[in-house]
Structure formats: C-alpha cells, structure tokens
Amino acid sequence: MSQKSVTGSVVASHDVSVPVYVVDDDESVRDSLAFMLDGYDIKVTTYAGGPAFLDNAEIMLPGCVILDSRMPELRGQDVQAILTQCHSPLSIIFLTGHGDVSMAVDAFKSGAVDFFQKPVDGEKLVLAITLAAEKSVVRSEQLSALLSYQSLTERE
Amino acid sequence: MSSVLIQTVIAALLLVMTQVHASNTNDSAINKNNDSNRSSKSAELVDTKQAITTVDVGVLATRGVFEAKQRWQPTLLWLQSQIPNSEFRLHPYTLAEMETAVKQQSVDVVVTNPGQAVRLGRQYPLSWLATLNSKLGDGTHVIGSALVVRADSHYQHLVDVSGDQIAAVASNAFGGYLTMQLAVQNKGINPTAFFADVSFLGFPIDAIIYQLRDGYVDAAVVPVCQLESMLEEGLIQPGVFRVLDDISPDNFACALSTELYPNWSIAKTSAISTKLAKKITRALLALPSDHAASIAAYSTGWTPPISQLSVDQLYRDLDMHPLQRPWWQEAAVWIKKNQQWAWVVFLFVLLLSAYHLMLEYRFSRSERKLKATLNRLKEKNAMLEHAQRVAIVGELGSSLAHEINQPLAAILNYSQGGLLRINKGADASAVVPALEKIQQQVKRADGIVQRLRTLINKRAVAKSSCDMQVLLTDTLELLEYDFQQKSIIVSRTCLGNVVVLDADVVGLQQVLLNVLNNAADACLMREVSTTINAEICIASQYSDDRLILTITDNGIGLTATSAELKNAFFTTKKDGLGLGLAICRDVIEAHHGYFSLAPADPVGCRVSIHLPLPL
C-alpha cells in the first residue's frame, strides 16, 4: 500500500460539517483511524459494534459512517440494512479486512457511498468522507421533503 | 504282343486246370491269373510236357539269405521227394518282404516265427499246417529273447541296462524285440525308458552280436539260441558274452531272458489248393526227427499246429494286436451302441459350454463396469481433493488476510496521522503515542505470524522406516488417474541395493506429490504442437551413503532464475501458491538432504533429491 501520497501532499484541513462515525470491533483500528482522521481535522465518534452505534448515534441526522464488514454482533451489511429500513440519511463507507468483488457490488447496490479494503490510504478515505458528507446532507433534505410531502397527503 | 501273351497264358491255365488241379483249383487259378510271370513259367513247364506243380515257399531269413537256404532247403527237398511232380522253391524274406509277399499272394507257403505268424494270420487268409518241433524244452515252445551283454560289463540284471545303448532286430521283430519288450514291461519297468536308446539293426542278427562285441552298444536283444548257434558255428568265442536274468527251464539248452512262445510254423496262403496243402502237411508230419532236413532246421520234425494264444496275448499286452482297433474306432462303436447316452453326454457338454460362455460374458461385462466405476470414483476423488485443497487454502488465505490486515491498517493509519501532524508542525510529543501504538501493532502482526508458524509446524514429524520404492509406488498410485487423464507416461528405474530410510513418510510423500504434480503441470504447459509424448522419468540410485532420486520431465522447463525459485510464494502458475518447492526444500533439508532443480536436456526440468542413507 503506497504511502507517498500522504507524505508528499499538502495537508489541507477538510471541513466536514456533519458527524463522522467509525464502527469497528478492533480497538486498534478505531483508535488509529480516529488518530489519522484527527490529523485531517475530522473529529470522529467511534463505536465497538453495530448495536452500540445504532443506539447512540444520531442516525436520522445527516452524517457519515465508516463500517467494518466483519463484526461479531452485527455485520456491517446488517447495520446497512437497518439504516436503509429506517430511512437514515447517513452515508455509508465500507472498510473491510477481506473484501471481494461480490461483497463490494452488494454494498454499492444497497446504497453504500464507497468501499475500501484495509489498509486504506488516508487521503482517499478523507476524500470519500468529504463526498459522503455532502451526499448525506443532500439526501437528508430530500428525505425530509419526502416525509413532509407524505405527511401532507395524509392529512388531506 | 500282349494278346499273344494272354492267349498263351489262357492255354497254359486250361492245361494246368485240367491236368494238375483238375478237382478244385478254381480259386488258385484265379489268383495265379494275377501273376503272368508265374503263369508263363507254368507254360514253360507245359512245354516240357511234364505237369509239375511249383510251390513258392517264403521263409523268414533271420540270419541272412545263405543261412536261410542252408536251414530250409533240405526240408523243401524232402517235400519235393514226398510229393510227386512238384517243385518247391525257396524265397528268403525279411519281415517286411514276407508281409508284402503274403499280401500280394506271390507265395504259396510261408514259414515264419510265431510273432509274424500271428500278425499275418490275423490280417490275411492263412491256414496253419504244422509247427516245427524242437529238440529243446517241450519241443513246441522255444521262441523267446535273450538280453546279451559283454561278459566283462558291470550289468547284473535286466534293469541295469535301462536307458543304455541297446541293439535289437526291428521294432516288430518277435524274438528280436517284442518278447523282450513284454518281459521288461512285466518286470514293472517302463519299456519306453528302458529302450530310450535302442537301435534296430535288422537281419542278419549275427551283426548285432558283433556290434555288441565291438562295443558299439552296451546290450543286445537277440532271439533265443542265437548266441549258442553262433558259438557252435565258431563265429564267437566262448565266455565273451553273458545273458542277463537267465530264466531258461532245466531241459532248455539256450540261455533265455523271457517267456517262451510257440515255435516257427508253416502256413498255406489261399494261392494253393487244400489238396496240395494236405499233401504238404502229411509229408511234413512224416519227416523223421533224425532226418537231415530236421537237423538242418534245428528241429526234430514237425507236429500239428499248436495254439498261438500266448502270442496273441503278448500283442494285446503290448497294445499292438493286429485286430485291435484304434481308440477312436472303439469310441465310435461304443457311441453307436449307446446312442442315447452319447447324446446325453453331448448335450451335457454343450450345456456346460454354453453356461461357461455365459459366465465368461457376464464376468467380463461386470469387470468392465467395475473398472468404469473405479475410474469414476477416482475422478470424483481427485475432484473432491482438489476442492478441499482450494477450500482450505481459500479459508486460510482469507483468515490470514483479515488477521494481518487489522494491525497493518492500524499501522498505516497511525503513521499517516503522525506524518500529518509533523507536516503541520506539531510537537514531537503529539506523535510519540502514535509511534508507540505502531510498535504495538507490529508486535501484534508478528504474534500472528508466529502463531501461524507454530500452527503449521504443529504436526509432529514422526520418523519411521520408509522404503522409497514403496513410497514411490504408493504415490504414483494416487496420481495414476490424473496422469492417465493427462496421458503422461511414467517410467521408473532403480540402480543399486534398495536401502530402507528412517524418514518422515508423510513429508517425503508430500515432496513426491509436489514434484510429480509440478512435472505433470509442466508437461501440460507445453505447446500443443509438440509431438513427443509427455514423459516423466523417475530414477533411484542407491550408493553406499546416499540415495539420489532424479525426477525428469520433458515439459516446459524452468522459466525462473534460481534465486526466484528459492523464494516462497513465487510462482509461474496461474493458480499456484508458490509454496510447493519451498515445502519440498524444507522437508528434504530436515532430512539433512539436498534438493535441487536443473534444466533437463533437451527440454524439461530435472529435480534431484539427495538423501543420506543410514550407515
């Protein structure tokens, strides 16, 4: 995995206005991701598993979640399914230790914004996070418009 | 010319019929009609105006023509003197000549030994007139054989001679062979073995004795009294010869090794009349015992014909009786008589054959089926094994990737984060925790690798006695189906004395499997256009201290450098792991051996495995 892009690039601070979550069962991955993204001025909230994330995160608000696919309690795909079910505007970036093509295709079909294999280049991840955050904001607006539209028709 | 001759013959015959055989010579006249020579001879006699009956007498000349004349001429003269107007003419014959003469009716009267008498009498119309009476023994039973050896030889009994060089008269000579053959058989000796080296010298019999004397043969079968006659005539010296197993009776002057059979007899053929035969018989019986003719014939005159049953029995015992039919004729007669049983047997044999054929057919069919099933089984087995291998490797690779990726991901993240901070001009203290965490993650990755290594090495290497040749056979058996599918020919050679190794059998088999699979893959990777057969040669060479196993293929050969080949995970195969050669090298080195790869000539690759042998 190439690292020269990091060392050679001009470090710019990325303004990500929405919350970023990291869900991974491996403490070192969570911690190191947080450390690395902190270098890009991206503050993240980390969770050790799917249930903790779903219970505590503001999942109905725009945001970005980096999901590990292989976790003991809930798999990344399961978390994605739950988020889709409750019309969460959160953008999902998969970060997997052992991905293959079919897994990536499934993830994209289910609405994931990006799909990475560990270890991932920080800059690419940050770029993906930035994009995901923008998408999430747009999607949130669409969803709220849809919801208000739906509620209107109900009353009538 | 011929018509004149025929007219003469007819005229002569008429004369003969009217004057000589006026009463009943019809049959003899017809017979003589066949022999124009004799008839014209009769015609000559007619010309002399004297009706003289000519009687042709055939005698067996056992000791040559001269001796035969000496022996029988006086008897013929006696007959001539007793029968008016007759002329008796002597014809000395050998056994074969005698038979021909009787067959062709060219003799009127025969004088022969009992053996031939019975043989001829059972095949041709002969009427026995009288039997020669001898001064020996009971007078009528005086024929037999003597087995003669040189007096100075070591032979004591008949059985001693068995298989040695024996001379005899002829295979059908009575006193000169057959009686001896039966005597040998009756003693429980196999005649074929006894007469394994027999030579038949024919008449005259004297020659046989001379051959024995001169040492050309070890023993001789001669008619009884032959030796004594020659002694008397001064032809041989006394004390030179011995007769083995002499069983001659007290009143019998000649030495004898066999039973005695009836003496020579005289018989008439159908060529002369009964009347003439009667006259001859009367004259013979009237011959005084002390007459010169009797003495010349070594006899005491003639007696009425005696039974020849014992001769018949001899022929039967020797399985060569003239009336005896060959076995297949006997079988044909039996089958004709017992047709129903013959049919039963025939049907039974037919049924058995059909049943046998049916069994054979079913057997071969089920054999084919079994073979096909076995092949299918092997194919499935190979597929299953392959699938299992793929699954194991896949699972292992996937787990390993996940396990190793976690710390690697963490290290990358920490290091990228750290670099970002340094580039932003952050204090070194901000980076220190990241570096410490990187160290922790490196240790974690190392731990994973160590765990994996112990997992792989966990299999206890059990060394046991291992015959490389047996192992090779077993391994080739595992690959047999695969190689057959790929049409790869495997040849094996082994030089030196096979020594049993003390080795890790499973490991070595893994090595052989890897190397052979590699060789097979290399053969398959060749260009399709190559016409030579894919071939793998396995050569084992045992020397004093080591076994050199060379496995050569004529496949694609080596495309990588030797440095590349030493690395694990280096592969030129599409779906290879690059572990095979590394495993081979590890296993062989664990046996203090040496594993090497080299290009083969002209194409292919040669794998050499050197293994030290136990001292």
Per-residue HEC secondary structure of A55-85 comes to: HHCCCCCCCEEEEECCCCCCCHHHHHHHHHH
A11 touches chain B (CB under 8 A): yes
The number of C-alpha atoms within 13 Å of A16 and in the hemisphere containing its C-beta is: 29
The 10s digit of each residue's pLDDT in B372-420 is: 999 888 888 878 877 777 777 777 777 777 788 888 889 999 999 998 8
Distance of alpha carbon A36 from alpha carbon A11, whole angstroms: 12
Angle, CA A42 vertex, CA A39 and CA A44 arms, to 5°: 110
Confidence (pLDDT) at B32: 44
Confidence (pLDDT) at B492: 93
A25 touches chain B (CB under 8 A): no
- Kindly compute the dihedral angle of the four CA atoms of residues B404, B406, B411, B416, in this order, to the nearest 10 degrees: 130
Phi, psi of B597 (to 5 degrees): -120, 140
Distance of alpha carbon B580 from alpha carbon B74, whole angstroms: 113
Distance of alpha carbon B212 from alpha carbon B218, whole angstroms: 6
The 10s digit of each residue's pLDDT in B466-503 is: 899 999 998 888 888 888 888 888 999 999 888 888 88
Decide if pLDDT at B568 tops 90: no
pLDDT average, residue stretch A31-53: 90
Decide if pLDDT at B204 tops 60: yes
Distance of alpha carbon B324 from alpha carbon A75, whole angstroms: 107
Decide if pLDDT at B529 tops 60: no
CB contact under 8 A, B437 and A28: yes
Strand partners, B283: none
pLDDT interval class at B551 (50, 70, 90): very high
Name the minimum distance, in Å, from the CA of A68 to any CA of chain B: 11
CA-based nearest residue to B294, from B160, B133, B432: B133
B280 CB-near residues (< 8 Å, 6+ apart): B55, B79, B83, B109, B129, B266, B268
Percent of all residues in chain B with a pLDDT value above 70, rounded to a whole number: 88
Interface test with B, best of A28, A67, A95 (most B CBs within 10 A): A28
A83 touches chain B (CB under 8 A): no
Helix (H/G/I), strand (E/B), else coil: A155: helix
Distance of alpha carbon B496 from alpha carbon B409, whole angstroms: 58
* Residue B464 DSSP code: E
Nearest residue of chain A to residue B420 (CA atoms): A39
How far out from the chain centre does Cα B121 lie? 41
Strand partners, B504: B463
pLDDT average, residue stretch B322-327: 74
pLDDT interval class at B359 (50, 70, 90): very high
| CA distance to A103, A128, B401, B567, B575, per residue, from B572 (Å) | 29, 37, 22, 12, 9
Name the minimum distance, in Å, from the CA of A144 to any CA of chain B: 36
Q: For B413, which of A35, A97, A98 is closest by C-beta distance?
A: A35
ipTM value > 0.90: no
| CA distance to B32, B288, B446, per residue, from A25 (Å) | 137, 148, 20
Name the minimum distance, in Å, from the CA of B582 to any CA of chain A: 26
Crossing angle (nearest 10°) for helices B274-285 and B65-82 = 100
A27 touches chain B (CB under 8 A): no
Decide if pLDDT at B175 tops 90: no
Name the minimum distance, in Å, from the CA of A117 to any CA of chain B: 9
Decide if pLDDT at A145 tops 50: yes
Average pLDDT, chain B: 83
A122 touches chain B (CB under 8 A): yes
The 10s digit of each residue's pLDDT in B410-428 is: 999 999 999 888 888 888 8
Confidence (pLDDT) at B550: 94
A39 contacts on B by Cβ (under 8 Å)? 416-421, 424
CB contact under 8 A, A35 and B424: no
Decide if pLDDT at A13 tops 80: no
Percent of all residues in chain B with a pLDDT value above 90, rounded to a whole number: 19
The 10s digit of each residue's pLDDT in B241-252 is: 989 888 888 778
pLDDT average, residue stretch B534-544: 91
Confidence (pLDDT) at B487: 85
Interface test with A, best of B396, B402, B406 (most A CBs within 10 A): B406
* Helix, strand, coil percentages for chain A (3-state, nearest 5): 50, 15, 35
More confident residue, B102 or B455: B102
